[in-house]
């Protein structure tokens, strides 16, 4: 029986300092049947030139690598979307071009997927930096059943919603009309992973499959801009509208509504107009506790007080 093809999808922009280590970790995978889709988002540095030089060290991978170039710099969300449009693997993995994967990452994730039949397999990860000593703690995937884990994911900031360190069946995207949206470049993981999880069966392994860089000062998460504020609002609105439309039994409704308070908290902390969030969601949040928190965060009640109440009420949903 032939092994399934895995598409590894990598957006590239401004990672000249990091891409060599990333690419070597990808090309050195022990798993053979891989296609590599690098999306050049009009990177202004020598990231792509370095990538082509690294592939020469791995001649057996040369025919498996493709670089597609955007017509202009469109952002992370659009780059991920383009990669999905280009790939053909039965499974997909997302890797950021300043991060790395462990040598057996693909093999271990595929083995678990085949053994369990799961649509998504989560792996463990740890953070690293340029001065890394390899002693950062391992972050293990949630061991909760899928439904309980997804409820906590919707509550936000409780279990990881990272798009990386996971293997996905590509049909989760194609069969359910799930795409990355251009313009959602910050909070894009939350904008996509809960939607995939809604339709998926899930398994996990405790092996470290991913190394997440925490010292890239030019990454999307290292600074806050008005564009990123809009992106985060759009990501939350995308999830909210999707679950309202597709969670037919209302299994996740209470957690979804309480989870939206995270974006209202963000708005209060950063002096953003909360009516823009109301407009983006398209319909008001429901439930006594979420509505109370929304009201407090939009009032003159000190933030510290409203946040304490929010945290107390959220415990009821765990």
Measured in residues, the chain has a length of 318
pLDDT at position 87 is 98
* CA torsion through residues 279, 285, 291, 294, sign: negative
> Cβ(236)–Cβ(187) under 8 Å?
yes
Q: H or E segment at 203?
A: strand 202-213
- pLDDT-above-90 percentage for the chain: 92
Distance set, CA 166 to CA 126, 172, 182, 289 (Å): 14, 13, 22, 33
Structure tokens at 160: 């990881």
**What mean pLDDT do residues 31-44 have?**
98
pLDDT band at 223 (very low <50, low <70, confident <90, very high): low
pLDDT at 88 over 80: yes
**What mean pLDDT do residues 232-249 have?**
97
pLDDT at position 27 is 98
Structure tokens at 279: 């407009």
pLDDT at 315 over 90: yes
Neighbours of 182 (CB within 10 A): 15
Range name among 41-45, 104-108, 131-135, 202-206 with the lowest pLDDT average: 131-135
pLDDT at position 309 is 97
| Secondary structure of residue 55 in the 3-state scheme | helix
Q: What is the mean pLDDT of the chain?
A: 95
Whole-prediction pTM value?
Answer: 0.95
pLDDT digits (tens, 9 = 90+) for 177-213: 999 999 999 999 999 999 999 999 999 999 999 999 9
Q: H or E segment at 95?
A: none
pLDDT digits (tens, 9 = 90+) for 137-177: 999 999 999 999 999 999 999 999 999 999 999 999 999 99
pLDDT at position 220 is 52
> Cβ(265)–Cβ(310) under 8 Å?
yes
Q: How far apart are CA 151 and CA 120, in angstroms?
A: 16
pLDDT band at 2 (very low <50, low <70, confident <90, very high): confident
Distance set, CA 165 to CA 12, 14, 63, 143, 243 (Å): 18, 22, 25, 15, 24
Q: How far apart are CA 290 and CA 256, in angstroms?
A: 10
To the nearest 5 percent, what fractions of the chain are helix, strand and coil?
45, 15, 35
pLDDT at 78 over 80: yes
Which carries the bigger pLDDT value, residue 237 or residue 181? 237
**What mean pLDDT do residues 70-90 have?**
97
pLDDT at position 131 is 81
pLDDT band at 218 (very low <50, low <70, confident <90, very high): low
pLDDT at position 272 is 92
Q: Please enumerate in sequence order all residues whose Cβ is within 8 A of that of 58, keeping only pairs 6 or more positions apart, or say none.
A: 27, 28
């Amino acid at each position: 029986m032939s092994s399934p093809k895995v598409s590894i999808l990598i957006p590239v922009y401004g990672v000249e300092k990091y891409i060599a280590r990333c690419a070597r970790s990808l090309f050195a995978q022990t798993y053979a049947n891989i296609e590599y889709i690098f999306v050049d988002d009009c990177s202004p540095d020598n990231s792509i030139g370095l990538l082509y030089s690294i592939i020469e060290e791995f001649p057996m991978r040369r025919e498996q690598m493709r670089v597609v170039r955007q017509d202009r710099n469109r952002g992370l969300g659009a780059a991920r979307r383009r990669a999905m449009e280009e790939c053909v693997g039965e499974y997909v993995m997302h890797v950021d071009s300043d991060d790395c994967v462990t040598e057996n990452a693909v093999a271990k994730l595929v083995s678990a997927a085949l053994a369990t039949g799961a649509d998504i397999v989560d792996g463990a990860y740890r953070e690293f930096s340029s001065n890394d000593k390899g002693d950062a703690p391992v972050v293990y995937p949630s061991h909760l059943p899928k439904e309980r884990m997804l409820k906590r994911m919707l509550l936000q900031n409780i279990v990881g919603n990272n798009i990386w360190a996971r293997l996905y069946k590509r049909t989760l995207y194609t069969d359910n009309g799930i795409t990355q949206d251009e313009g959602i470049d910050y909070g894009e993981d939350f904008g996509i992973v809960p939607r995939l999880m809604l339709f998926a069966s899930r398994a996990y392994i405790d092996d470290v499959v991913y190394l997440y860089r925490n010292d890239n000062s030019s990454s999307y998460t290292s600074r806050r801009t008005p564009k990123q504020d809009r992106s985060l609002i759009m990501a939350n609105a995308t999830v909210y509208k999707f679950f309202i439309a597709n969670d037919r039994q209302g299994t996740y409704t209470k957690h979804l509504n309480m989870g939206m308070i995270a974006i209202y908290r963000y708005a209060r902390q950063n002096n953003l107009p909360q009516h823009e969030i109301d407009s983006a969601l398209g319909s008001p949040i429901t439930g006594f506790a979420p509505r109370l928190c929304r009201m407090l965060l939009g009032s003159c009640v000190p933030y510290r007080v409203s946040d304490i109440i929010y945290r107390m009420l959220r415990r009821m949903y765990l």
